[in-house]
Amino acid sequence: MNSSVQKLHHVAQKPSSKIIGLMSGTSLDGLDIALCEISGNGRETTVSLEEFITKSYDEHTKRYLQKIVSVPEVSLKNVCLQHSWLGDLHGELVLEVLDEWGVNPTEIDCIASHGQTIYHAPKLQHGQADMPNATLQIGDGDHIAQKTGIITLSDFRQKHTACGGQGAPMAALVDQILYAHNNEERILLNIGGIANFTYLPAPSNTHQKTATIDTGPGNTLIDTAVNKYFNKPFDTDGEIAQQGSVQSEALQALLTDPYFQQPLPKTTGPEQFNLSWINKKLDQKGIDNLAPKDLIATLTQLTIKTISESIQKVISKNSPPTLYISGGGLHNPVLMNGLAEQLPNCQIKNFASIGCNPDAKEAVVFAVLANETLSGDGFMIDPDSSEKITFGKISFPD
């Protein structure tokens, strides 16, 4: 037997594995690196987050990625170069943090790498009837495996679209096995660049089904406008939004986007929600005189409104869920207070109270997806079929 296949066979049979989850999200703030100890599989899965860090991208890296991320027409040469370059970079960052943590790479059973989404094109967004749901992530897995000497699973979203899904959100698959609770209705809300949630009704609630959705912009519009008008990467602690006031006419103009009324399932990205989208929506209503701080307050309110309205649509009025929040938006008090105001019946908690470090959640998701591919049966993505599927492509270091 080939030695890497033998290693894989061994890892798949271990009662517990050390898996590193890697996530480079839509905000382009850096690479989230989560070292997990994972035992069991399916509903028996348990995860212990042993270490976590976000390795921030420097300005040069961020600007280089911005050349192609979510841009519809780019240099194919850049895409080709960046696919390999980012794989190498992610491999180097893994080696760097393992050294910082005092962990030998030989102790790691595998890496689960999400990569960087450079274009997300569900049918709803690309609008070409003859084309399938499509999504593209870069940061090649072979490069990560070569750099680190560690078996690497990557490119998790392709199987989702190949099986008829929209390529996202995928966190719900993991949320269901790790966080569904017998007596509590739960919403797991992640506010990253894009906001998404998983609704986990308590099993006793036979009227409601598990649901998942990208609600629309999380931080992406706030970040992009703060960057343009204040030359900062994001609105630290919501300070700018607090100085501005929400302009209701502008808010209504933004809320007219049909995405917000589309039924589930739906997913989106910065390809749709970006600076030109803001300008177009405001131009259509003849609004051209918003003070920058009022724009930030209005965009923050847009995130609050679209998240809370999406939540209201799926939950049962009689048994309001507890909301567990993760992602960078958790650090913005204006977002948090706004959600509490709009969802007075829901208890709001930090995801840490049932899971792990809220900034690590998505990286852990990909570690669990890899664990299931190696040692489990997989996940059901079609509620009308019992067929289970696994995700990720396997790269060997040799």
Known binding-site residue numbers for ATP:
25-32
Relative orientation angle of helices 76-101 and 141-148, to the nearest 10 degrees:
30
Q: Which of 36, 171, 187, 299 binds ligand AH0 (CB under 6 A)?
A: 171
Asked if 27 and 223 touch (Cβ cutoff 8 Å), the reply is yes
Least distance (Å) between residue 174 CB and ligand ATP:
14
To ligand ATP, the closest distance from the beta carbon of 289 in angstroms equals 26
Q: Which of 47, 168, 200, 246 binds ligand AH0 (CB under 6 A)?
A: 168
Is 25 a binding residue for ligand AH0 by CB under 6 A? The answer is yes
Q: Does 395 participate in binding ligand AH0 (rule CB under 6 A)?
A: no
* 274, 70 Cβ separation under 8 angstroms: yes
Where do contacts with ligand ATP occur on this chain (CB under 6 A)? Answer: 25-27, 29, 190, 192-194, 218-219, 223, 234-238, 327-329, 331-332, 362
Structure tokens at 66: 């911005």
In angstroms, how far is the first alpha carbon of the chain from the final one?
A: 14
Q: Binding site: residue ranges?
A: 25-32
- Report what 235 binds from ligand ATP, ligand AH0, none; CB cut-off 5-8 Å by kind: ligand ATP
Which among ligand AH0, ligand ATP, none contacts residue 234 (Cβ within 5 to 8 A by kind)? ligand ATP
| Residues facing 33 on adjacent strands | 22, 53
- Nearest in space to 393 (alpha carbons), one of 205, 166, 111: 111
Contacting residue, 69, 194, 330, 343, with ligand AH0 by CB under 6 A: 194
Place of tokens 């960057």: 227
Q: Residue 185 contacts by C-beta under 8 Å, 6 or more apart in sequence?
A: 199, 200, 201, 202, 205, 208, 315, 316, 319, 320, 321, 322
Interacting residue with ligand AH0 among 70, 113, 135, 152 (CB under 6 A): 135
- The answer to whether 178 contacts ligand AH0 (rule: CB under 6 A) is no
Q: Please list, in sequence order, all residues whose beta carbon lies within 8 angstroms of the beta carbon of residue 238, skipping any fewer than 6 positions away.
A: 300, 332, 333, 334, 335
Picked from ligand AH0, ligand ATP, none, the partner binding residue 168 (CB below 5 to 8 A depending on kind) is ligand AH0
Task: Please give the residue ranges that form the binding site for ligand AH0 (CB under 6 A).
Answer: 25-26, 117, 120, 135, 167-171, 192-194, 196, 214, 267, 269, 362, 365
